[in-house]
Structure 1
Amino acid sequence: MTNAVDPREFVAQIRARLSEPGAPFETVVEDVLGVPTAVLARRRRSLQELLDQAVEWGDRDYLVTAGSRMSFAEYESAVAGLARALAQRYGVGKGDRVGILAANTPEWLVAFGAAQALGAIAVGYNAWWALPEIAYGLAHTTPKVVVADAKRAAALAEAGAAVPVLTMAEDLPRLIAEHPGPRPRTPVSEDDPAVILYTSGTTGRPKGVVATQRNLLAIVDYHRFMDAVMAGFAGQPFAEPSDKRYLLTSPLFHIASLHNLALPRLATGAAVVIHSGGFDVDRVLRLVERERVTHWGAVPTMAHRLLQQDLSGYDLSSLAGFSLNTAPSSAAFHRRLRERLPVAEVALAVSYGLTEAGSAATVATTADLAAYPDTVGRAVFGVEVEVRDADGRPAPDGQDGEICIRSPYVMLGYWQDEAATAAAIDGERWLRSGDFGYLRDGCLFMSGRRSDLILRGGENVYPAEIESVLDEHPAVVESAVIGLPDEDLGQIVAAVAVVEDPAAVEEASLREFAASRLAYFKVPVRWLITAEPLPRNATGKVLRRGITI
């Protein structure tokens, strides 16, 4: 008779072995930006070294789309040619900004790689921006050149952009062909800026989040570490290159796709399968079938649409991992996923992070979700998470407070905004997330954002808690809760319930359902029942400012 092994303890043992002295992921403490920080003893010091590693994967698939295929060797050749062109034709050098304004394409990542070869800073502009937002971004980061797809090149022309614009379909192939030769090499330091990505701008102007060489390389090694942990858990040796194939459906101007999907594959030799254009469930699932995709990190909106499709006509047997990223999702929704999507039964993960954190701060595994259905998980490798009270002290287990994060993945700061950087990161390099939550048994639970908090008659009401309850209702596809001004109470609670057939759902039934599960002051008093999806930004977060009730 064998003794049962606690999976969590087993994983902890694997993690300890991988990071002990002499092990591949040996961790040491070094001074980083004036703060003692845990870093890998043996690590790459620049993204140029990461590009060197990728060359070794040769003819293996790196970037795959519905109509194209680019190997690691072809990627290296394209990066080298474009880098030489940017330097020789446009004078791009260390510290200059190279703007990228485009939908997801292999050329997006070629432009990123070329910028790194020159020690320049890639700037991933939001491809969904309107003309005034584009003009703001160009003025804010003053790129020396912008690489754009045809649609955004036309928008740049309409906006009167003075900066040279290189089109992906015409200019890049010509420039690459005209500038053959080895990839340029430019000395950089670990804490030099590598990329600027913009916050989603749910309030005020979008801020430019600066990630350094160290940030991105640490994130790459976090993903390699997790590959090694999973291999150990399965009783297999950790080996690279990897045969995994990752589906990329979120924008490359977001950390989920750039920092945490495309870049780590340069180190592991796995393939990135890129879905381009608007999210179409049939096209995406056919791509999964054809390319035998093994892992997919989706935003909840995509998963919602997935469940509206008849999945019986697709071969999804290659999927071995499925995660929900960038926006909150409820336990009720997780249950619906498990019922319809086979991989979600055995390999569903949920994460919590933000652009400023660089990567997921916490991840909830299938086991975590089984024990705590509403958790967003435990701190990942290299991350410290604290919940702090109003005085900035660590809050006891179960008490709400602001979620604070410290890791080698946390941004350097906001581009040209010292005041905002100082407000977000303290002297010990702790990032104040602006999100509220609490810890219990090492797991993090979300309450909501400070900006979403509803103050009703002296009571703090967190929309996320109410939304989680409403999503349990069998007729509700998704929901959003906001506060509306009230002369007497300051604010009242209002809710949008998205359902398939509004005529078949009565407000009274929703109110009774909520009242049976929530304190009276949390029950919405104003309702909108609609079939229209909630307004969301590029990262899948609900745009509460766009909701009217």
Structure 2
Amino acid sequence: MTVFARRHPHLPAVLLAAAEQHSDRPYLVFPDRQLTYKEAVDRIPAVAAVLRDVYGVGRGDRVAVVGPNSLEYALTLWAVAWLGAISVGLNGWWTGAEMRHGLAVAQPRVLVGEPRQLDRLTEDPGLPTVTFGEVFSQLGRAAAPLDPELGEDDPVAILFTSGTTGRPKGATITHRGLVNFAQDSQFRGAADALLAGRETPSSPPVSLLVGPFFHISGIGPLLAGGPFNGMTMVFPPRGRWDPLVHLSLTARYGVTQWSGVPTQLLRLLRHPALASYDVSTLRTIGFGGAPMSSELAALLGSVIPGARPAMGFGMSETCGQGTNIAGELLVDNPQSIGYATPTSEVRVLSEGDEVGEIAIRCPSGFLGYWGDPAATAAVLDADGWYRTGDYGRILGGMLQLESRLRDMIIRGGENIYPIEIENRLSEHPAILDAAVIGVPHDDLGQEVLAVVVSSLSAREVREWVGLTLAPYKVPAHVRFVDALPYSATGKLLKRELERSLGG
């Protein structure tokens, strides 16, 4: 594979270099407090000492973490990496049953989180379970040294992603994967500026980070992208995302970089109060998670002309690496998801210009799904090619996304796999048959529609799903039919179902 000859050997080395070069620069800015790069490096070994001495965490152990983004969450992730252990990011919106599944997969030594999320585990999870507050109240022990055997191909995190089985699988990512993610992005940005004749910014970026730490969009910038270029990361207060708060923080901290999903950017660019806030510091508007609409393309080119739009196509299994497209090329080609990034290889498994499954190979590729060799073998070959499950074609040297192999629904940037909801629906004795599809939504991109054969009410259907699945997976719409369409071979005809419903 193509790799950078000069690269950091692991993530703590990236942070240590940042603390040396950007010692007093703010690194993590939360509503109530902030840390500079030097302060973060000074505090992490103490957190690592608590995990080591009190909870027995050592090299290769898993530490499950759950909760909204916070300073304690960030430092815990760093402390885990410091010890050569592996963080297990549990989705903060999961129900207790979903969390128990994640714990069963990863078998962590300890679970650390916020009380609100931990309280969902109404049954004993079978392992030590503590709050961030309990961990941080014990600081003061002798600092834990950096694991001397830490290597770039060591696993650092398990990120949960779903597949055709409908049950979350733990994608195991490495130090190398995230370091390469950061270096590839930095190189790409510098080369892009050089080719476009733009001046390289004289100061490090300031990013308003909305991606949760259990997503690659959150943990990637936190552990790699931010420290690699001395970025200051500003975090909004807890609670539902608010465009006015986003605009206010942009003006207050001189934010140079927005990132998010298309639905969030649309709400920002459409907002009537946008002109009341100084967003002149913005240099980049980055997004992913869903294709760009023609409306968003038009707004990006006119509402904030000084900010350069950029879109990436990647996934947890590739640490977000795959393809990228930016600037006027993106605005002029909204249907495209761009060229392969500098260290990525992308191919379409088809003949000629036909639509085929997209495969990616890069140094940021994952090791496999934790504890699931069969699922790993189904998508990752011996040469490192990962079959994404997305369909596309290559036109004019650029990749164009055509469809999703698994009918995935993307609601506000959250990936929802219909089969998981369908499996839950089928467990109800009064539901004879069920199918789940996505329907368009102006703000969220898509919402969940359940089509069921049942005598239940819509409320009863939603309540049944909500008992075991996260709220964002609960169908926003329920339609009742006498029967679902099937082919002669017994295959559910979802496309025909969508047409019959006017989709």
With normalisation by structure 2, the TM-score equals: 0.79
Q: In the alignment, which residue of structure 1 is the partner of 2:367?
A: 412
The change in CA–CA distance for 1:493 and 1:141 in structure 2 (over 3 A counts) is closer
Q: Kindly report which structure 2 residues correspond to 1:68-87, keeping only aligned pairs within 5 A, or say none.
A: 68-87=33-52
CA distance in 2, matches of 1:128, 1:102: 9
Q: Kindly report which structure 2 residues correspond to 1:39-58, keeping only aligned pairs within 5 A, or say none.
A: 39-56=3-20, 57-58=22-23
> Is 1:438 the counterpart of 2:393 in the alignment?
yes
CA distance in 1, matches of 2:18, 2:43: 13
Q: Is the 8 A contact 2:153 2:174 kept in 1?
A: yes
Q: Kindly state the Cα deviation for residue 55 of structure 1 after the two structures are TM-superposed.
A: 2.3
Q: Is the 8 A contact 2:322 2:344 kept in 1?
A: yes
Q: Is the 8 A contact 2:47 2:79 kept in 1?
A: yes
Deviations 1:309-358 (A, max 9, x none): 2122222111111122122232233224444x314x75112221121121
Q: In the alignment, which residue of structure 2 is the partner of 1:324?
A: 287
Deviations 1:21-57 (A, max 9, x none): xxxxxxxxxxxxxxxx222212122223223213212
Deviations 1:147-189 (A, max 9, x none): 2123223334x34233223322x2243222x225364333123
Q: In the alignment, which residue of structure 1 is the partner of 2:170?
A: 208
> Is 1:351 the counterpart of 2:312 in the alignment?
yes
Q: Is the 8 A contact 2:282 2:307 kept in 1?
A: no
Q: In the alignment, which residue of structure 1 is the partner of 2:61?
A: 96
Q: Secondary structure at the match of 1:360?
A: coil
Deviations 1:222-275 (A, max 9, x none): 1231343255347688799x4210111121111122124552211211111112
Q: In the alignment, which residue of structure 1 is the partner of 2:339?
A: 378
The change in CA–CA distance for 1:221 and 1:198 in structure 2 (over 3 A counts) is same
Q: Kindly state the Cα deviation for residue 364 of structure 1 after the two structures are TM-superposed.
A: 1.4
Q: Secondary structure at the match of 2:289?
A: coil
Q: Is the 8 A contact 1:382 1:408 kept in 2?
A: yes
The gaps in structure 1 that reach 5 residues or longer are: 1-36, 390-394, 454-466, 496-522, 529-549
Deviations 1:435-459 (A, max 9, x none): 1000011111011111229xxxxxx
Q: In the alignment, which residue of structure 1 is the partner of 2:271?
A: 309
Q: In the alignment, which residue of structure 2 is the partner of 1:491?
A: 493
CA distance in 2, matches of 1:46, 1:404: 26
CA distance in 2, matches of 1:380, 1:374: 18
The gaps in structure 2 that reach 5 residues or longer are: 409-436, 452-483
CA distance in 2, matches of 1:78, 1:200: 35
Q: Is the 8 A contact 2:86 2:157 kept in 1?
A: yes
CA distance in 2, matches of 1:527, 1:261: 42
Aligned AA (2:116): K
CA distance in 2, matches of 1:357, 1:410: 4
Q: In the alignment, which residue of structure 2 is the partner of 1:270?
A: 231
223-232 vs 416-425, which deviates more? 223-232
CA distance in 2, matches of 1:330, 1:271: 30
Q: Kindly state the Cα deviation for residue 81 of structure 1 after the two structures are TM-superposed.
A: 0.4
The change in CA–CA distance for 1:483 and 1:333 in structure 2 (over 3 A counts) is farther
Q: Kindly report which structure 2 residues correspond to 1:424-503, keeping only aligned pairs within 5 A, or say none.
A: 424-452=379-407, 478=445, 485-486=484-485, 491=493, 493=495
Equivalent of 1:173, from 129, 136, 149? Answer: 136
Q: In the alignment, which residue of structure 2 is the partner of 1:535?
A: none
CA distance in 2, matches of 1:221, 1:404: 22
Aligned AA (2:175): Q
Q: Secondary structure at the match of 2:158?
A: strand
130-139 vs 302-311, which deviates more? 302-311
Q: Is the 8 A contact 2:336 2:399 kept in 1?
A: yes
Q: Is the 8 A contact 1:144 1:163 kept in 2?
A: yes
Q: Identity over the aligned pairs, expressed in percent? A: 32
Q: Is the 8 A contact 2:323 2:340 kept in 1?
A: yes
Q: Secondary structure at the match of 1:433?
A: strand
> Is 1:113 the counterpart of 2:114 in the alignment?
no
Aligned AA (1:213): H
Deviations 1:95-123 (A, max 9, x none): 00111111111222211110111110111
Q: In the alignment, which residue of structure 2 is the partner of 1:11?
A: none
178-187 vs 357-366, which deviates more? 178-187
Equivalent of 1:284, from 228, 246, 249? Answer: 246
Q: In the alignment, which residue of structure 2 is the partner of 1:506?
A: none
Q: Is the 8 A contact 1:493 1:526 kept in 2?
A: no
> Is 1:526 the counterpart of 2:490 in the alignment?
no
Q: Is the 8 A contact 1:483 1:492 kept in 2?
A: no
Equivalent of 1:300, from 255, 259, 262? Answer: 262
The change in CA–CA distance for 1:81 and 1:414 in structure 2 (over 3 A counts) is same
Q: Kindly state the Cα deviation for residue 71 of structure 1 after the two structures are TM-superposed.
A: 0.8
The change in CA–CA distance for 1:476 and 1:208 in structure 2 (over 3 A counts) is closer
The change in CA–CA distance for 1:483 and 1:316 in structure 2 (over 3 A counts) is same
Q: Is the 8 A contact 1:248 1:274 kept in 2?
A: yes
CA distance in 2, matches of 1:416, 1:237: 47
What is the RMSD computed on CA atoms of the aligned residues? Answer: 3.1
The change in CA–CA distance for 1:101 and 1:481 in structure 2 (over 3 A counts) is closer
Q: Is the 8 A contact 1:246 1:261 kept in 2?
A: no
Aligned AA (1:296): W
Q: Is the 8 A contact 2:49 2:141 kept in 1?
A: yes
CA distance in 2, matches of 1:261, 1:446: 28
Aligned AA (1:327): A
Question: How many residue pairs get matched?
Answer: 438
Q: In the alignment, which residue of structure 2 is the partner of 1:141?
A: 106
| Structure of greater relative contact order (alpha carbons < 8 Å, 6+ residues apart) | 2
The change in CA–CA distance for 1:92 and 1:186 in structure 2 (over 3 A counts) is farther
CA distance in 2, matches of 1:483, 1:446: 25
CA distance in 1, matches of 2:446, 2:65: 34
Q: Secondary structure at the match of 2:493?
A: strand
The change in CA–CA distance for 1:237 and 1:182 in structure 2 (over 3 A counts) is farther
CA distance in 1, matches of 2:35, 2:162: 30
Q: Secondary structure at the match of 1:197?
A: strand
